[in-house]
Amino acid sequence: MPADTQTWGLTAIERRSTTDHVLAELRAAIVAGRIGPNEPLRESALARTLGTGRSAIREAIRQLVQEDLVEYRINRGAFVRVLSVDDADDVYLAREAIEVSAVRHALERDPPRDLEPLRVALERITAAADATPADEPAGTELIAADLNFHREMVRLAASPRLSRAHETLAAEAQMLMHHQPVYSPVKYAADHTTLLDAITRRDPAAPDLVRDHLRLSATLIAGEIARLSEIPELGEAVIR
């Protein structure tokens, strides 16, 4: 049978389903902190807000539970997860395993991978850092730029499986990074410049620099989560 007449029993589908739209909207709102920790996700209210049926809301929430962004509580419904110090430690432990391995493998590649995407990612960090007031923590754009840099760094290993594993941590990592304390935007950009410079030089110490960079971030985030948990009015929203 000619190739253009084969259908394998498949039928045409919409480019993007309603559930996918709902999932994308909710995920973006949660990871950016617009829907905060411990907030209830009421199907009826969300259906009205998003102008869709409750079945799409229900399926999107089910997917967010699988992504560890939302949890079900018995007899209470779905709530945005409260990320703890243990969550921060675990996410960054996983990131360290992936990113350090990726950079080590990238340094061993011959010929080396094109570093232009990583340079562009650093430019995005620098621009976002320049727009961040020195007395404010990193905002949504700087956090997104940071994660994109690390995503491009993992891609240097040319391992689709490493990249997929890293991407599964992206949403939780972004949520955690909104708990970063105030950190000099200049230093923020400089830290990533150091990583790019080491990778560009194929410095054998580059994997160790990545490890130290991630451990510093994990320590700062865990410290901020612990600090917030001591504030009485935030006790319901942050748990150690």
Q: What is the length of the chain?
A: 240
The answer on 91 and 159 residing in a single domain is yes
The answer on 119 and 51 residing in a single domain is no
Over residues 5-13, mean pLDDT: 46
CATH of the domain at 195: 1.20.120.530
Does 163 map to a domain?
yes
Task: Calculate the average pLDDT of the chain.
Answer: 88
Could you report the per-residue pLDDT of 204-214, keeping only the tens digit for each? 999 999 999 99
Does 8 map to a domain?
no
* Segment 120-123 long-range contacts (CB within 8 Å, at least 24 positions apart): 121/145, 121/148, 121/149, 121/151, 121/152, 122/149, 122/189, 122/192, 122/193, 122/196
- Can you list the alpha helix ranges (DSSP code H) found in 8-53? 18-31, 43-50
* SS3 letters across 119-135: HHHHHHHHHHHHCCCCC
Q: If you compute the radius of gyration of the chain from its CA atoms, what whole number of angstroms results? A: 20
Query: Which of 61, 80, 99 is at the close of a domain?
Result: 80
> Is the sign of the CA dihedral 196, 173, 32, 225 positive or negative?
negative
Could you report the per-residue pLDDT of 110-151, keeping only the tens digit for each? 888 899 999 999 999 999 999 999 999 999 999 999 999 999
**pLDDT confidence bin for 232, thresholds 50/70/90:** low
The answer on 95 and 73 residing in a single domain is no
Which of 140-154, 155-169, 205-219, 221-235 shows the lowest per-residue confidence on average (mean pLDDT)? 221-235
The answer on 113 and 59 residing in a single domain is no
Max distance between CA atoms of the chain, in angstroms, equals 70
Does 60 map to a domain?
yes
Could you report the per-residue pLDDT of 59-79, keeping only the tens digit for each? 999 999 999 899 999 999 999
Range of the domain at 48: 18-80
Per-residue pLDDT for 48 more than 60?
Answer: yes
For the chain, count helices (H), then strands (E): 10, 3
Does 1 map to a domain?
no
pLDDT score recorded for residue 15: 47
Whole-number Å distance between alpha carbons of 102 and 83: 26
Across 100-124, b (16+ Cβ under 10 Å) vs e yields: bbbbebbbeeeeeeebebbeebbeb
Per-residue pLDDT for 190 more than 70?
Answer: yes
Query: Which of 33, 56, 80 is at the close of a domain?
Result: 80
Q: Report the DSSP pairing between strands 70-73 and 40-41.
A: unpaired
The answer on 220 and 114 residing in a single domain is yes
Query: Which of 60, 80, 100 is at the close of a domain?
Result: 80
How many other CB atoms are found less than 10 A from the CB of residue 7? 8
Does 12 map to a domain?
no
pLDDT score recorded for residue 16: 55
pLDDT score recorded for residue 117: 97
Over residues 98-102, mean pLDDT: 98
Over residues 161-172, mean pLDDT: 94
The answer on 66 and 89 residing in a single domain is no
pLDDT score recorded for residue 13: 41
133 class by beta-carbon count within 10 Å (0-12 exposed, 13-18 middle, 19+ buried)? exposed
| pTM confidence score | 0.83
